[in-house]
Amino acid sequence: MESVRAVLVDIDGVLTVSWRPLPGAVEALREIRDAGLAVLLVTNTTSRTRASIAGTLVDAGFPVSAEDILTAPAATAAHLAEHCPRARCALLNSGDIAEDLDGVTVVDAADSGTVPDVVLVGGAGPEFGYAALDRAFGHLQRGARLVAMHRNLYWRTADGLRLDSGAFLAGLEQAARVEAEITGKPARAFFEAALARLGVGAGEAVMVGDDVESDVLAAQRAGITGVLVRTGKFQPEVLQAADGTPDHVIDSFADLPALLPGSAQQ
């Protein structure tokens, strides 16, 4: 860990649960910054914009700004601009993320007269009913590309685990016989974009997350040191069944500074 210059941090389940700070998380993030390490919060959250997330975190005491956050919607906008510019997108998502989809043309999902070029899937919520999913299925049958911001199966809230869009995405892929292009975690391009933003190499960064597959092992496949926390959606049986082994497993984000160079705890 002596070569680490930057820390990539998932938010939900690592720093917060239901947007409430986990014990010691605020203090740990401050210590990491005081040690001179670069920090970027990387999240698949699709219910809020970067500005909204930053405002909530600042109110909770975290030393961050919108510029310190890379969201799946923001990465999706960059992906669409590069790979299918001017595409008409039918968005299936819970939450208003228009601000982070800068330059993306979103069509009215209920407009039967417009055939979209892309079916864009974000995070799950009440919007993921039969009618919306069947409409998306129809677009895919007519040749639309399937782009998903992530394929998370669930996330942790104060009331327990909640089903996420990955479960619905798998159904769409099977039914339409297509494979989704993933733009957030665990896509390698997402981690590479985070590294480029901080100006560091993969060997100089560490990724901290509560999802062993999408956060930790995906980061390790990109050459980044992976740290799994036993908070949020962490489940021992999921870790045991994982395709690989994290570089480090710690009880919570509060324990991270002790692993890092320049930390007062080291």
* Domain 85-182, CATH number (from 3.40.50.1010, 3.40.50.1000, 3.40.120.10, 3.40.50.2300): 3.40.50.1000
Domains 6-44+185-259 and 85-182 alike in fold: yes
The DSSP line for the chain is -TT--EEEE--BTTTEETTEEPTTHHHHHHHHHHTT-EEEEEE---SS-HHHHHHHHHHTT----GGGEEEHHHHHHHHHHHHSTT-EEEEE-SS--GGGSTT-EEPPTT-TT---SEEEE---STT--HHHHHHHHHHHHTT-EEEES----EEEETTEEEE-HHHHHHHHHHHHT--PEE-STT-HHHHHHHHHHHT--GGGEEEEES-IIIIIIHHHHTT-EEEEESSTT--HHHHHTSSS--SEEES-GGGGGGGSTT-TT-
Tens digit of pLDDT for each residue in 224-249?
A: 999 999 999 999 999 999 999 999 99
Average pLDDT, the chain: 93
pTM metric for this prediction: 0.86
What pLDDT is stored for residue 265 in this prediction?
Answer: 55
